[in-house]
Structure formats: structure tokens, C-alpha cells
Amino acid sequence: MDSTDREICMGPWEGPGHETGAIAPPVFQTSLFAKPSFRVFVQQQAAEHTDYVYSRGTNPTVAFLEERLALLEGGEAAKCFGSGMGAISAVLAGLLDSGDHVLFVNDIYGPTLELAERLRAFGIEHTVLTEDTGPAAVEAHIRRNTVLVYVESPGTMRMKVLDLPAITAVARRRGVRTVMDNTWATPLFQKPLALGADIVVHSLTKYIGGHSDVVGGAVIGPEARIREVFYKGHQLFGSVMSAMEASMVLRGLRTLPVRMEEHQRNAERVIDYLAARPEVAAVHHPYAEHGPQEEITAKQFSGFSGLLSFELRDASFERVARFLDGLSLFRIGVSWGGYESLATSPLRPGNEAELRAKGFAPGTIRLSVGLEGAQRQIEDLEAAFAKL
């Protein structure tokens, strides 16, 4: 993690009123911004993506967060949204037209694929590549009407890492833009734009917010693309981040560097522990990679977050439920990336075949390793294994 990133995360307020010395961002809790003359009003309304006119467009507190996120990702501009899905839907609806095709590469966050299914009703097609995700397979699946390659690395659940520079190079050569969901690593541990991606999306609900008390999303990329997403996606679909939420995400951002290092320390010890358990068939996380994948991983990540999965042997719904119910520090719940440790599983009564078809072992358990400390986390897992 570089020291510039730490300063970007921890930098004081620089927006309107900074001359007061306010360290924390003021919450501009206002829906509109009145103008001194009609002429100024007309000028600024024509530039709503940068000027303060209406808080569905641009708001100073939210704009400060956008500026920080753009700096961290090394992009020209950013736009925040009311949720990660708000950001993703604005990118897909904003950049695609009827007749276009999207190529999804890797295990993709479930609701993103549900959205892609929904977009079929509007004439937008897609393909999902999950097994062979190498650059040659990507190239072979790019069609004449492919407009976006959409990737997640590591992928959802199996945490497979993609060779991002190779994939983005293929897409670029074919005139296709790459969108990357960088929620897992955060910009502190992986910089997709530097690896050739054109647009980065985030759920700010996870590590960047970090306290499980706010839902938000962001899109980062070149100024012209963000403007397009702003006018065609953000303004029209209205998935808006409020000033209050932006100030909460900014509070999360200040401790992001220290939290991420601690998530990594804890996760590595938890992975070493799980890998040695006889009940565990496999652990999925970039830190647990060996062989050629290890080399790709080393080139792309400067650190690892605390979200991992593992496969319980002899899995049945009862056995997975017994394990999860045997935990107490790890709470059972959705989402991840907060200070608290969480556990869940994609297993439901009777969906084993569906999971296997996706390449997921039925005994898959996902852990979000929080900040309570590896010792306590391992003791908790130990207690749950003892109850199996």
C-alpha cells in the first residue's frame, strides 16, 4: 500500500467552507442550490455533472468522496450512487443500447447477472465465461456487437483471480471496453485502471464504508465515460447517494488503510488454520493460491482483503447449518467487509445440483474475516468444527 494512498484516505476537507479549518466534511443536507442570477442558473444547469444545482446531480459532500475515490483508483472522475447495484445498473444501462452484447468473465456477483438477464427484455445480450477465463477464451467469445467485457477478480465465491492485463489487452485490441468490479480488493490493494481496465465499479457498502452502517456505490473512469454514466444512468435512474451517507463513507475511508492491513493479517492466519483442518477440502482466497495462479496474483495485488470461502467435506444442508449455527463470533448474514466477522453459505435445501452446475461445491462456506483478531476468530471456528 503506498503512502500517497494513505494521505488520500486521510486528507482533510477541501470543499466549500474549508477556510474555517473544518477537518471533517460538512454534510450539505440540502436538496437544491439557489443561484444569484438566472444567467448563472442557466450556465450551471447545463453543467450539472460538476456544478451544484440539485442534490440528485452533484452535492459538495458527495463530490468530495468522488474526488477521493478517483484519486485512489487513478481515474479522471468518479460518480457515487445509492448502492453498488445502482452504480452497476447505471453503467450497463448508460453505456449499452439495444442490440449490444456484454461478455461477463469469471464468477460474477449474483444480482449483476440477474440485471443482465433483465436487460434481455431491452434487447441487450450477454454471455458468461466462468471456467476457461484465459485471454484466448475471452477473445473467442467477443462478438461483432460486444461493447463491454465485465470482470470481477477475484470472482465471487470461488475467488478465482483473472489475468487482468492479458484480458484487458485483448478487449482493447478488439475495441471493447473493460468494466471491473473492484469491491473485493479496494483501490488500496488493486488498481484495475493501471492494469488496463477502462471503468471501475464499487460497492462502497463493503470495505470502503467498512462499518456495516451505509449502503453505497461508485463508478470511476475517464471524464467522458463518467459524464455519460452521469447523464444516462445516474440522473435518469436516480440511484443517489445522500450527503449524510457520503460523510459516513468518508469516515470509513479515513481508517481504510489500517483496517485493510488488519483484515489481511487476520485472514491469512484464518486461512492457514482452515487449510490444516481435516474437515476442509479446499480454501479459496488469493493467499491460498499455488502454482501459476500465484504469479498472476503477485503481479496484480499489493495486499489481500478478508473475504474467503472454503469447502466443507461431506456436505449436507444439515451439516453446513450445524457448522454455521456453531459459530458465535462470526455472525450469520449477507454482505461483508465490515469490522465484524460474518459467515454464510450459498447452500439451500435441494440446490446442490444448481451449485455444482456453477462449479461451486455444495459445502461452500463464505467467511468475511473481520477485525476482532485472528486468535478469537480461530477459537470460534474451532468451536464450530467441534460441533459437527
Ligand X SMILES: *Cc1c(COP(=O)(O)O)cnc(C)c1O
Which of 85, 315 has the CB closer to ligand X? 85
Beta carbon of residue 203, minimum distance to ligand X (angstroms, whole number): 3
Q: Which residues contact 302 (CB under 8 A, 6 or more apart)?
A: 1, 2, 188, 189, 190
| DSSP category for residue 206 | T
3-state secondary structure of 264: helix
79 is catalytic: no
Query: Could you tell me the smallest distance in angstroms from the CB atom of residue 209 to ligand X?
Result: 9
Catalytic annotation on 181?
yes
The region of 199-207, 321-329, 363-371, 377-385 touching ligand X under the rule CB under 6 A is 199-207
Nearer to ligand X, 183 or 235 (CB): 183
Q: Which residue is nearest to ligand X (CB)?
A: 84
CA-closest candidate to residue 162, choices 117, 115, 197: 197
> Per the residue annotation, which of 206, 225, 259, 366 is the catalytic one?
206
Question: Do strands 77-81 and 217-221 pair parallel, antiparallel, or not at all (unpaired)?
Answer: antiparallel
Residues constituting the chain: 388
Q: Which residue is catalytic, options 5, 100, 181, 198? A: 181
Number of chain residues interacting with ligand X (CB under 6 A):
12
Q: Which of residues 74-133 bind ligand X (CB under 6 A)?
A: 83-85, 109
Q: At closest approach, how far in Å is the CB of 22 from ligand X? A: 28
Instruction: Note the Cα 127 to chain centre separation in Å.
Output: 21
Q: How far is the CB of 215 from ligand X (least distance, A)?
A: 5
3-state secondary structure of 106: coil
- The answer to whether residue 109 is catalytic is yes
User: Site mask, ligand X, residues 287-316, x = CB under 6 A?
Assistant: ------------------------------
DSSP codes, 62-94:
HHHHHHHHHHHHT-SEEEEESSHHHHHHHHHHH
Q: How far is the CB of 368 from ligand X (least distance, A)?
A: 10
For ligand X, the binding residue among 25, 210, 217, 252 (CB under 6 A) is: 217
Cell of 387: 460441533
Among 215, 243, 342, 374, binds ligand X (CB under 6 A): 215
State which amino acid sits at residue 328.
S
Looking at 127-212, list the stretches that DSSP marks H as alpha helix, in order from N- to C-terminal side. Answer: 135-141, 164-173, 186-189
Binding to ligand X, residues 146-185 (CB under 6 A): 152, 181, 183
Alpha helices, DSSP H only, in 174-325?
186-189, 223-229, 235-237, 243-275, 292-300, 317-325
Give the span between the Cα atoms of 357 and 87, in whole angstroms: 29
The percent of the chain in helix, strand and coil, each rounded to the nearest 5, is 45, 15, 40
Residue in 58, 59, 178, 205 binding ligand X, rule: CB under 6 A: 205
Q: Name the minimum Å distance from CB 84 to ligand X.
A: 2
Active site residue 206: yes
Compare residues 215 and 243 and give the one whose CB is closer to ligand X: 215
Q: How far apart are CA 371 and CA 338, in angstroms?
A: 8
**Out of 6, 56, 251, 319, which one is annotated catalytic?**
56
Contact positions toward ligand X, by CB under 6 A? 83-85, 109, 152, 181, 183, 203, 205-206, 215, 217
Known catalytic residues are: 56, 109, 181, 206
